[in-house]
Each structure stands twice: as C-alpha cells, then as structure tokens.
Amino acid sequence: MKPSILVARAIFPEVIERLRQHFDVEDNPNDDAFSPAQLRERLKDKDGLFATMSERVDPQLLAACPRLKAVANMAVGYNNIDVDAATGAGVMVTNTPDVLNETTADFGWALLMAAARRITESEHWLRAGQWQKWRYDSFVGADLHGSTLGVIGMGRIGQAIARRSTGFGMQVIYHNRSRLAPELEAGANNARYVGREELLRQADHVVLVMPYSPALHHTIGEAEIALMKPTAILVNIARGGIVDDAALIRALRERRIAGAGLDVYENEPAFNPDFLSLSNVVLTPHIASASIATRLAMANCAADNLIAALTQQEPPNLLNPAVRAGA
C-alpha cells in the first residue's frame, strides 16, 4: 500500500502527478482555504503533508494526526511549523532553501528600485489621467547608484542581494546573527559587518531578509525606524511580524523615512488597510519567489523531500535530523 498524503493547496499539476507515482494523494485543486479544524480532519489519517506557509503545524494538529511522519513545506521560511513539537511527535520537517535565492533577490531589488524611483506611485498618477505637463520636480526620488545598502539577515538571499549591488557601485553594510566568513563577505560586494543600530543609522536604504522567530517580533519598530535617514527606503521581503506595521505606517505618513517596499505584512493577507492610503509605499502580495521556474522548483523540491522522507531515504532538506536518527 502506498503512503497517503495531503497536498494542502493547489500546486502545479505535473508535481501532483509526480506525487501520485509514490503516494495516495488527496489534493486541493480548488485551492479551498482549510480552517485548522478542516486541516486536522483531512490530515488525521495521512502519512505526509505537503504544506505552504499558510498551514499552521502546531501541537494541536500533531496530536490529531498520529500517523503523520513528514511535513514538507513549500517555502524556505518555516515559522508556520512548530519544529520542536514536530520533533517531539517524531515528524520530519523539510523546507525549500536555495532554489529561490536568486529570484527572491531580484524581487528585493525590484521593490527597492520601485520605491526609490516612485514607479508605482507615478504609474497610478499617469493611469488616473493626471499627466498634463512636465515638471522639474515630478516624482523626483532617491538615487540607488553610489549609495550604501544595509542588509539585515545576510543568509543566502541576503548575499544574493548584496552581490547585485556591485553593478550600482554601492557599498554594502550588513547585520546578521553571526559574522560571515571573509570569503563570503568578499563575495557579497565586500559587505562590512556592523551593529544593527549602526546599520540603521548609516544605510541609505535597508533591506530585511532575516527569518522570522518570536524573538524577532517587531524587531523593526518605532525606535529602529527613528534611527533611519529621512531619505531612506525600507524593504521587507522577510516575514510579516518582523516590522511593527503600525509604527511603519506612522513613519511613512509623517515622512520620517522616504518610502518602503513591502512584500510581507503582519496578519497577511488581512494586512493593515492604512497602508493603502499612503503613496510612498510599494505593496505586493507576498510574491518575491513568484517566477514560474522558481515556484516549480520549490514545488519539486518539496516533493523530493516528501518522497525521500516517506520512502526511508534522507530528505535533502531535513530540518530536524533528530527524528531520523531516532527512527
């Protein structure tokens, strides 16, 4: 008998077909949003879960699903999963690192450039039929070339962002849990390690790329935004909750910083509607990894992990090896 899995969200049909070669698959082609109770009900007799960041894997779900052996998250971030609780329940957890580094870094730049050069703001104005004449100060923005980029979270995506700054003749400063090895700093446009406060004060623009953990909740709030230059752009492609959105909205409204580019929000998709009244913020719906090739690579990576986990092989991206060691 094949192991049984739940694919919690609609994904590429060809990946569903791959999964069907190994598993009895319950999929969700209509992409219905499962409540936690519905997820528990559907998963209670399954061996595996193909998840996205939208599904919470918590002690309650784990307790309701005694057969569960593996959760493959189609995301590099896994703050939707209580990994310690999964380890305690003997459930392997995997994520999809690396395949999205370059695409996500591209998008960080797209948000930075759009906010600095006021691209979406001016497009809305143009579409609204307001373009009557040229003016010397129409939508003047901030230059990126020659400026200092501050990257908070210098993992693989942060380094990919830093690498791209060489073409703009920029300096890079970074803050991270730990300092990078010299060769990695060199490869990231000679990025210079600084304290977080120093970074916020010195950077012309700040990009957030660190993983979310409860310890980092609102790590960028009123006090941190107050350290930034009034001409600075803040980009968040990390996770909602890292930034105190209410504090950011106040700062943007009062022009205490020049602008922001946001792909992630507290409580998304029900993000704070006050963002909508601000012209100096570029808002996108959590799509930094959304190129066709990368989303397909992420789905296949999650499938590889689930297939390995449920066929007695080592999943390539196992986050809690203690489970296999104890198996």
Residues forming contacts to ligand 8YV in the complex (CB under 6 A) are 52-53, 74-77, 100, 289
Structure tokens at 197: 């406060």
Nearer to ligand 8YV, 141 or 315 (CB): 315
The least distance separating ligand 8YV from the CB of residue 240, rounded to whole angstroms, comes to 10
Nearer to ligand 8YV, 95 or 320 (CB): 95
The least distance separating ligand 8YV from the CB of residue 2, rounded to whole angstroms, comes to 25
The least distance separating ligand 8YV from the CB of residue 96, rounded to whole angstroms, comes to 6
Selecting among 117, 175, 268, 295, the annotated active-site residue is: 268
Nearer to ligand 8YV, 289 or 305 (CB): 289
> Residue 268 catalytic?
yes
CA distance 175 to 218: 16
CA distance 289 to 287: 5
Nearer to ligand 8YV, 76 or 149 (CB): 76
The least distance separating ligand 8YV from the CB of residue 239, rounded to whole angstroms, comes to 7
Please name the residues in contact with 237: beta carbons below 8 A apart, sequence gap of 6 or more: 104, 107, 108, 111, 157, 207, 208, 209, 263, 264, 288
Q: Answer for the pair 258, 230: CB distance below 8 angstroms, yes or no.
A: yes
DSSP line for 252-310: HHTTSSSEEEES--TTTTS--GGGGG-SSEEE--S-TT--HHHHHHHHHHHHHHHHHHH
Nearer to ligand 8YV, 53 or 152 (CB): 53
- 19 secondary structure, DSSP code: H
Of 58, 74, 54, nearest in space to 268 by CA: 54
Q: What backbone phi and psi angles, to 5 degrees, belong to 53?
A: -65, -15
Selecting among 224, 239, 266, 295, the annotated active-site residue is: 239
The least distance separating ligand 8YV from the CB of residue 158, rounded to whole angstroms, comes to 14
Positions marked catalytic:
239, 268, 286
